[in-house]
């Protein structure tokens, strides 16, 4: 077994872990949001009426990226990742799916971290379900 050295990382994260806020609301925004690799460190706040889907960048482009999602409204928030999302929790660890969905809850949140092969969803508040 190889000993891990202090500070050793398999995937380096950006030196600016929190870079800003993007608010999606009913004014001029959409129910289908594209998330770019350069959006790493941004908190996406969903205030849009109805189900809103955030589509992650290609998994290879997500290496070392962190995306944060928060629901301000009681509508479904969907995170789509092209069959590369791993989720854990009450349903079991290591479940691979194409999407994870927060069911209509104000204050629901999740953090998504990419390693270049998968996206790992760290579900916070709310009921998050996956689908393939």
**pLDDT tens digit sequence for 65-88:** 999 999 999 999 999 986 677 665
CATH number of 20-124: 2.60.120
- Tokens representing 25? 């609301």
Domain ranges of the chain: 20-124
Q: What pLDDT shows up at residue 11? A: 56
Residue 42 scores a pLDDT above 80? yes
Cα–Cα dist 20/39, whole Å: 9
Does the pTM surpass 0.85? The reply is: no
């Amino acid at each position: 077994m190889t000993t891990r050295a202090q500070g050793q990382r398999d995937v380096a994260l950006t030196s600016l872990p929190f870079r800003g806020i993007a608010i999606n609301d009913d004014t001029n925004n959409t129910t289908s949001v594209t998330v770019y690799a350069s959006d790493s460190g941004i908190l996406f706040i969903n205030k849009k009426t109805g189900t809103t889907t955030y589509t992650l960048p290609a998994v290879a482009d997500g290496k070392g990226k962190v995306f944060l999602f928060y629901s301000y409204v009681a509508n479904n928030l969907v995170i789509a990742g092209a069959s590369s999302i791993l989720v854990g929790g009450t349903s079991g660890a290591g479940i691979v799916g194409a999407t994870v969905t927060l069911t209509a809850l104000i204050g629901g949140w999740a953090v998504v971290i990419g390693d270049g092969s998968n996206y790992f969803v760290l579900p916070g508040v709310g009921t998050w379900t996956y689908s393939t």
